[in-house]
Structure 1
Amino acid sequence: MGNAGRSKGQEKAGIEHLVPVCVMKVAERRASGWNGELLRRVFLHQNGLAAITALATLEASGSLDRLSRERLSCTDVVNDSPSPGAVAASIVAACDAGWLTVHDDRGGGSVVSLSASDDVAFALDILLDAHRAIRERDRDRPWSVESTVARLLGCVDILTSAKASVSRRTSLPDAAADLLLRLLEGLLAVPLLPRIERDHDRADLAPLFAALDLGTSEAGIKRVLSFFAPMYGLAGSYAQTLIRLPDRVAAGETIAPLDVTRQIDRSINVRASATAHRGYFHAATRLVARHFDQAPLAEQPRAILDIGCGDGSWLRELYAFIRGSTSRGRSLAEHPLVVLGVDMDPVALEISERNLSNLPAICLLGDVGQPSEVAQAVASASGIGMDDIMSVRAFVDHNRSLGHMEGENGNVRLADGVYATPSGSIISAEAVREDWAEHYAQWRQVCGRHGLVVIEAHTPGIATVRDRLESSHTLALRFYHALSGQSPIPYEAFRGAVSFAGFSSRRSVLYPETSPTTSISWLA
């Protein structure tokens, strides 16, 4: 894009449009203390890596150059880009940092434009140059933990220079400057922090922590690495894909969702999920246990079925809580309770079997996308019909394959978000929502009287994403889910799908209560 020919005054004026108007004052944000500020950084850093990578991907695809010269129709942006480019356009638009604007209407007249402000273009150059410099040092290097940590620690000078350029050449309000710097920091914080061992040499880490404005005391570094660093693994487990995505797009590679999932760092993803999701599992466990306390013993479920059980830890928690905290737990001799774990991953099932070995447990292969087959397998293995089973599951419905769906680029609205099929084609949000409704209609046919307790993640609308850059990592979540072929939908669409399927909601718990990014629902 270049910034040659711009005056110093042009460089300094108007860059406040890079940040959402809802940004609070720094002093107000930090009133909750340093831990609250660190959590804010976790969200902003992950969203920053997503937003800047999406911007760099648009540059690599040529769309950014075209948009600097002309407006494009939404259809042009989607049709001219394989899934990474189209997904990137939706992410840059969702960030709403003044970079890309979608003028959308349901009559098909969607138009995408780049900001005409020279000041905004100058700021984008800083972000793009930083991403490009990190990619250059990463190119063709191995992604073992030791190699990656050493290489990225060597990129601290890139981050320091970019931040200095923002501070030196702009006159942003404190809150606006702080937000832009935090987004920049995500380029290193997200891929690095979840990969650094707690006992890593503190002297080696001091330059990084200084560049991230996190302080360099031994106690401070230890606190970040012990508690906050694992949280970065949600987006950090996709870091290899995100750092290299623009170069792969520039080279004309076809990047299908399966290519992305192969590169996920499963170890840090599992660790991050356990940290981030623990509270949701505890809340859902209490919701399930309430049913065991309210219904007569003879009418309670004979079994709990977890579809997508993973390592079996939730089933173990459910059994322990029911045994220790409910009337059913005091009557297990007369009314035994079986736990049933179903997963499509044989390795996960082996781990589940070990973790549940001292419980009345049965573990089976099965796919959440094939409910009738799951019901038949469960009945055959346990002798218990679905009418006597309470089903539970967590964060698996959005992970179903969209392989049965056809691309429909011309019908995609960037403002709704976009989704990718296994082949890399783009499908519309409306088509995905219809697929969710059909999926739940199939589950309604096999679910029994005890219903289904679901923990699910949601992608709120673009307007909500803009307001939550500092309070959730929902922008990053939209990006890496779409790239890897996953299909989370807004909570309102989820409610519409389960209602269409014939489920009613006995109880729901939402996080947060307005436009939730996570929900716990008891459906019957």
Structure 2
Amino acid sequence: MGCGNGAFIEHIYTVIERQTLRGKMLDDYPLFLVGADYNQAALKVTRANLIKADIWAKIIWGDIGQPDLLANDLLENYNIDLKDLLNVRTFLDHNRIWEMPKEITKNRVSHSIGAFAHRGERISNSVVEDNLLEHLIKWSPYVQKFGLLMIELHTIAPNLTAANLGKTAATAYDATHGFSDQYIVEIPVLHKIAAEAGLYPDANFFRRFPDSNIATVSINLLKGV
């Protein structure tokens, strides 16, 4: 989801082909690669780049906020079950289209100290967490089997940013994403809300960058128990 120009799909294929046991079996057991994006121009570029790289993939329109629609499209038109795929995306979940949560968690105390807004109106952090929860619940049925491999961007506490000027890009991330209505939460907040949706990061594959308390990027393989 969010295939962009297809570079990450090409990277995944290359890693599997050259660095894994699975790559030695591609002739007998080919990979089913699906690239989806909301942007039609991105789909066109992805198709061209993957054809140039001689990589077979289905490239289709998709909305990260509507996994049911994507699942139906894959099943009806390509006989591919979304539940049978490892879902992968990079720096996309925080850029979901904003929707007010259908249900507000009573007495939720947010653990995020980020600042969020939508079209100039401030959004409380607890509402942002409820929105993230509903977003992940939409995806939960489709990632129970093989998981959701997510590379995500995060905010950090202002006091950490202030104490590490020149060592973190958090100020720039907060500004650019705040002004463009994107919702980057702290790593522990992502994990907490994911757990509420029944998804948990596999500790064997979790990474953060930098590997310290000023980490603004994480790699997570979220799966059901």
Structure 2 length as normaliser, TM-score? Answer: 0.87
Distance (Å, rounded) in 2 between the aligned partners of 1:502 and 1:443 = 10
TM-superposed CA distance for 1:381, in Å, is 3.5
Letter of the structure 2 residue corresponding to residue 492 of structure 1: P
TM-superposed CA distance for 1:492, in Å, is 0.9
TM-superposed CA distance for 1:405, in Å, is 6.2
Letter of the structure 2 residue corresponding to residue 374 of structure 1: L
2:26 corresponds to which residue? 332
TM-superposed CA distance for 1:440, in Å, is 0.8
TM-superposed CA distance for 1:430, in Å, is 1.8
Distance of aligned partners of 1:505 and 1:405 in 2 relative to their CA distance in 1, 3 Å threshold: closer
Letter of the structure 2 residue corresponding to residue 447 of structure 1: V
Unpaired runs of at least 5, structure 2:
103-109
Note if 1:350 corresponds to 2:27: no
TM-superposed CA distance for 1:403, in Å, is 4.4
Note if 1:416 corresponds to 2:113: yes
Aligned CA RMSD, in angstroms, stands at 1.9
Which runs of structure 1 show a deviation greater than 3 angstroms over 4 or more consecutive aligned residues?
403-406
TM-superposed CA distance for 1:491, in Å, is 0.8
Unpaired runs of at least 5, structure 1:
1-306, 407-412
TM-superposed CA distance for 1:442, in Å, is 1.3
Residue correspondence of structure 1 range 251-290 to structure 2 within 5 A: none
Letter of the structure 2 residue corresponding to residue 455 of structure 1: I
Q: In percent, how many aligned pairs have the same letter?
A: 29
2:162 corresponds to which residue? 466
Distance (Å, rounded) in 2 between the aligned partners of 1:497 and 1:417 = 15
Distance (Å, rounded) in 2 between the aligned partners of 1:433 and 1:461 = 16
Distance of aligned partners of 1:403 and 1:448 in 2 relative to their CA distance in 1, 3 Å threshold: closer
TM-superposed CA distance for 1:404, in Å, is 3.5
Q: Helix, strand or coil: the match of 2:149?
A: strand
Residue correspondence of structure 1 range 69-468 to structure 2 within 5 A: 307-357=1-51, 358-404=54-100, 416-422=113-119, 424-468=120-164
TM-superposed CA distance for 1:333, in Å, is 1.5
1:520 corresponds to which residue? 219
Distance (Å, rounded) in 2 between the aligned partners of 1:381 and 1:321 = 28
The C-alpha deviation readout for 1:142-184, integer Å capped at 9, x for no partner, is xxxxxxxxxxxxxxxxxxxxxxxxxxxxxxxxxxxxxxxxxxx
Letter of the structure 1 residue corresponding to residue 74 of structure 2: V
Distance (Å, rounded) in 1 between the aligned partners of 2:39 and 2:14 = 25
Q: Helix, strand or coil: the match of 1:455?
A: strand
1:246 corresponds to which residue? none
Residue correspondence of structure 1 range 43-54 to structure 2 within 5 A: none
Distance (Å, rounded) in 1 between the aligned partners of 2:101 and 2:195 = 22
Distance of aligned partners of 1:434 and 1:403 in 2 relative to their CA distance in 1, 3 Å threshold: closer
Residue number among 186, 197, 210 corresponding to 1:501 in the alignment: 197
Distance (Å, rounded) in 2 between the aligned partners of 1:463 and 1:405 = 30
TM-superposed CA distance for 1:512, in Å, is 2.4
Q: Is the 8 A contact 1:437 1:497 kept in 2?
A: yes
Distance (Å, rounded) in 2 between the aligned partners of 1:417 and 1:451 = 27
TM-superposed CA distance for 1:390, in Å, is 0.7
TM-superposed CA distance for 1:372, in Å, is 1.3
Q: Helix, strand or coil: the match of 2:219?
A: strand
The C-alpha deviation readout for 1:235-278, integer Å capped at 9, x for no partner, is xxxxxxxxxxxxxxxxxxxxxxxxxxxxxxxxxxxxxxxxxxxx
Which protein has the bigger strand share?
Answer: 2
TM-superposed CA distance for 1:371, in Å, is 1.4
Distance (Å, rounded) in 1 between the aligned partners of 2:100 and 2:124 = 14
